[in-house]
C-alpha cells in the first residue's frame, strides 16, 4: 500500500494484510472485503447513531433514524471514499477493472465500510470511531434534522393510512442489465389509482422509492 493511502485515511495499520483485504473485491480473490464490510457496516451505524444522539438531544427517534439513513447510504459512503481517493487502491478482477468498478458507488461504499471493519480489528473500537468521526466531520457539522424529509414510501404509507385506503404493494416487473449494472423496474399498486405507477433504480429499494414518488404525484393530481 502506498504512503498516500495511509495519509488519506490517517491510520497506520499494525497488520497491513487487513487493509489489503478491505480493498480486495470478490472478483479478485476469495479472501475479500465482504466479511469486513459486514463488520464495518454495524460499527458505522453505531458510531453515527451515537454522534447524532449526543448532538441532537431534543430530536425524536424517527427523525434521528432518517438523518442516520442519509449519512450511511451508498451515495454518501461513495462520496467519502472518493474524497479519500480509495478507487486507485482497490484490488479488482479484470472484468470489474475494465467495466469501471474502481469508480462504482456500490464498490466504493463497500470498501469504505470494510476499512472501518479492518481498523476495528486492527486497533479497536476507539480507532474505528475516530476514523468515522474524521471522515464525517464536515457532513455532521452540516446536519439539520428539520430539513430531512421522510422518504416517498413512508409518505405514501402515511397518506393512505390517513384515508383508510389500505397499503400499497410493490412488484418487481423487470430487471435489466448485467450483474454490476442492474436496473430494477418496480410497479406500485395503490387503492384510488386506476393504474400502477412505475419506478426505476439501481436497486429494488431505489426503484420502490421512485414508484412511490410517482404514486404520490398521481394522488396529488386526483386531489386537485
Catalytic residues: 41, 113
C-alpha cell at 151: 422518504
If you search the block for the grid coordinates 424517527, which residue do you land on? 62
45, exposed or middle or buried, with CB in 10 Å at 0-12, 13-18, 19+? middle
CA-to-CA separations, 200 to 12, 53, 72, 204, in angstroms, rounded? 42, 34, 22, 8
- Helix spans in the chain (H): 3-9, 16-22, 34-55, 61-72, 74-83, 94-98, 105-123, 125-135, 137-141, 152-162, 204-223
Amino acid at each position: 500500500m502506498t504512503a498516500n493511502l495511509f495519509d488519506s485515511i490517517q491510520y497506520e495499520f499494525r497488520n497491513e494484510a487487513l487493509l489489503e483485504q478491505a480493498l480486495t473485491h470478490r472478483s479478485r480473490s476469495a479472501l475479500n472485503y465482504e466479511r469486513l464490510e459486514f463488520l464495518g457496516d454495524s460499527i458505522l451505524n453505531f458510531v453515527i447513531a451515537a454522534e447524532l444522539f449526543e448532538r441532537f438531544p431534543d430530536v425524536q427517534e424517527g427523525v434521528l433514524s432518517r438523518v442516520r439513513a442519509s449519512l450511511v447510504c451508498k451515495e454518501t459512503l461513495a462520496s467519502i471514499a472518493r474524497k479519500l481517493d480509495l478507487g486507485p487502491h482497490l484490488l479488482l478482477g479484470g472484468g470489474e477493472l475494465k467495466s469501471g468498478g474502481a469508480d462504482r458507488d456500490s464498490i466504493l461504499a463497500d470498501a469504505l465500510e470494510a476499512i472501518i471493519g479492518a481498523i476495528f480489528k486492527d486497533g479497536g473500537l476507539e480507532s474505528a470511531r475516530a476514523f468515522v468521526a474524521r471522515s464525517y466531520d464536515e457532513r455532521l457539522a452540516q446536519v439539520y434534522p428539520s430539513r430531512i424529509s421522510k422518504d416517498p414510501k413512508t409518505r405514501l404509507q402515511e397518506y393512505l393510512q390517513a384515508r383508510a385506503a389500505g397499503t400499497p404493494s410493490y412488484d418487481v416487473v423487470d430487471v435489466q442489465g448485467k450483474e454490476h449494472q442492474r436496473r430494477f423496474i418496480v410497479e406500485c399498486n395503490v387503492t384510488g389509482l386506476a393504474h400502477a405507477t412505475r419506478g426505476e433504480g439501481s436497486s429494488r429499494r431505489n426503484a420502490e422509492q421512485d414508484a412511490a414518488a410517482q404514486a404520490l404525484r398521481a394522488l396529488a393530481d386526483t386531489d386537485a
